[in-house]
Structure 1
């Protein structure tokens, strides 16, 4: 029952593309998953294992990197054992860190059945896609113009057509600023043209701020409810005995703006 609850209530972004417009939702999900992974526990449980798998994948999608080191206030059971239950995901993160798409795709193929059975293949595909995007974004920091063929060769795509598809999608999502001359197959990388002075931009910023405030309020309410739960307090008390109080000085008690 607990596992079903976890799967059905985690936002279903494993089956849809995470675009710039849903970046805030991804961050909130990442915070939620982080809390599940670092919650007090005396033994490893299925929910924590499933959360850790998604923690690895969302870290790669959102941040482009993953560290097996968990915060020091994480339970010793989680610190010692979680990654041992999720080795295909740790291997995926290691392959991602190499920056080589061929190595990453080989890892995906090796562990494909595991990812499918975990119902995480959609997220894994997003991890692969995010590497292509990050490799293209790195090119914008080095070149002003580049041919689609050169992009395909550098990023290890199948050809200029596939490179064009990726670049166009990234332009559409606002992830890069560029123009494509289809006649000669050249891409010109541009600076962000937005001056952030229009009424529309101000309204969008205000909407984002209001949404963040609403989410922060929800997180604060959840934090307060959990903080008053007798079972949580009992477990947290047992875990805290393993640390000095100084270890918790930097741990935020609430999410405040």
Structure 2
């Protein structure tokens, strides 16, 4: 057995230098795995890895590393493997690891589990981001590691790092479940960044995704979707998938009823009623880890009520604003200042007499920034259009699709044949 392993290592070293030899090496590694050569020699795997360079022998190193990380180990042993995996992710050759993506994903997830067991998620953010780039065949593809990466960013509170990958357009995915988790965790990252528009987009992807059963991910996404809709739009935007039947809809409503009731109370615009409702249902929201977001909903109602005043009045005192939105003058001033800073209203405060002057939007929409924003939107739409055309052309030429269409056509009745009388 030891001789066979030594021969395998030498073959890995000899066949990894030329691209033309990689397919032959891949075949040898599959044969060795099929014979159980690596699994039966778990005690020697660490020694074998020391004889290989992950930057030169990536494919062979990955086979051995996957077997090494799959063997049972103590907590100390698992911790000791983390630097080895991180070093491999950083230096491996992308073209070689893409030949066996399942093994690379398995190694990365073992690394993620080890990081989580140490309760240091920030240590996994950088390596997993590198792993995604090496696994991706294109920037628009969501891999099975995307959801793990975004989850680590969420746990480590690295919202900016997680958001950077969420800005990329999505065209393809490996597994539907990975996409659901990616969009759900991504929505939470966007909430942390207060990018509510992007959060709604991602959460709606989870809600409207075709599925034969109602998942826990979908239910949690709906709850957060309701809250973010209230914060961003002041009302609940309808986002129900067309394929849902009445039984599923009733079950969803029962599981999300206190969130739907919250939206109903919010629509009245009454702060006291909203705060009273939240206090009554505080335990429910807290148990579902949504109390912080619910508090942002309350804050958004204060702001929305102030925004309504700008549509009616040119000047108001802080005392008048406080009376109309049911708060104190000091809190009213803080809300107004924050809204001015965030660009939600255009106003100025005269500190001498406590008067607030509301202004028109100064943006003329002809600056360089606006032009660049419009141009980037056009470029994005053009890229999406091209991608859709390519997919349409691919499907139109796919033999399996054409065969299914032909089969369906044969099973359909042509009712026009019965328009003529049976007897002539």
TM value normalised by structure 1: 0.71
- Aligned position for 1:179: 348
SS of 1:196's equivalent in the other structure is coil
Query: How far is the alpha carbon of 1:90 from its aligned partner?
Result: 1.2
Distance 1:198 1:15, change over 3 A: closer
SS of 2:189's equivalent in the other structure is coil
Query: How far is the alpha carbon of 1:204 from its aligned partner?
Result: 4.8
Q: Distance in 1 between matches of 2:293 and 2:300?
A: 10
Q: Distance in 1 between matches of 2:181 and 2:370?
A: 38
Distance 1:5 1:43, change over 3 A: closer
* Greater C-alpha radius of gyration: 2
**Unaligned runs of at least 5 residues, structure 1:** 229-257
- Aligned position for 1:242: none
- Aligned position for 1:133: 303
- Cα deviation, 1:43-68, whole Å, max 9, x if unaligned, reads 3321111011012111111221126x
Q: Distance in 1 between matches of 2:303 and 2:243?
A: 32
**What RMSD, in angstroms, separates the aligned Cα atoms of the two structures?**
3.2
Distance 1:34 1:74, change over 3 A: farther
Q: What is the aligned residue count?
A: 213
Q: Report the structure, 1 or 2, having the larger helix content.
A: 2
Matched, 1:11 2:188: yes
Q: Distance in 1 between matches of 2:373 and 2:258?
A: 40
SS of 1:146's equivalent in the other structure is strand
Query: How far is the alpha carbon of 1:71 from its aligned partner?
Result: 4.1
Instruction: Report matched runs for 1:64-103 at 5 Å.
Output: 64-66=234-236, 70-71=239-240, 73-76=242-245, 77-103=247-273
Q: Distance in 2 between matches of 1:110 and 1:14?
A: 24
1:202 aligns with one of 359, 371, 393: 371
- Cα deviation, 1:14-54, whole Å, max 9, x if unaligned, reads 445x2xxx3xxx32321222232233334332111101101
SS of 2:267's equivalent in the other structure is helix
Q: Distance in 2 between matches of 1:14 and 1:109?
A: 22
Q: Distance in 2 between matches of 1:150 and 1:27?
A: 32
SS of 1:51's equivalent in the other structure is helix
> Which structure has the higher relative contact order (CA within 8 Å, separation 6+)?
1
Which 10-residue stretch deviates more, 42-51 or 140-149?
42-51
- Cα deviation, 1:114-136, whole Å, max 9, x if unaligned, reads 22221212221221111111111
Instruction: Report matched runs for 1:6-85 at 5 Å.
Output: 8-15=185-192, 18=194, 22=195, 26-66=196-236, 70-71=239-240, 73-76=242-245, 77-85=247-255
Matched, 1:213 2:380: yes
Q: Distance in 2 between matches of 1:107 and 1:99?
A: 13
Instruction: Report matched runs for 1:145-164 at 5 Å.
Output: 145-157=315-327, 159-164=328-333
CA contact (8 A) 1:14 1:121 kept: no
TM value normalised by structure 2: 0.45
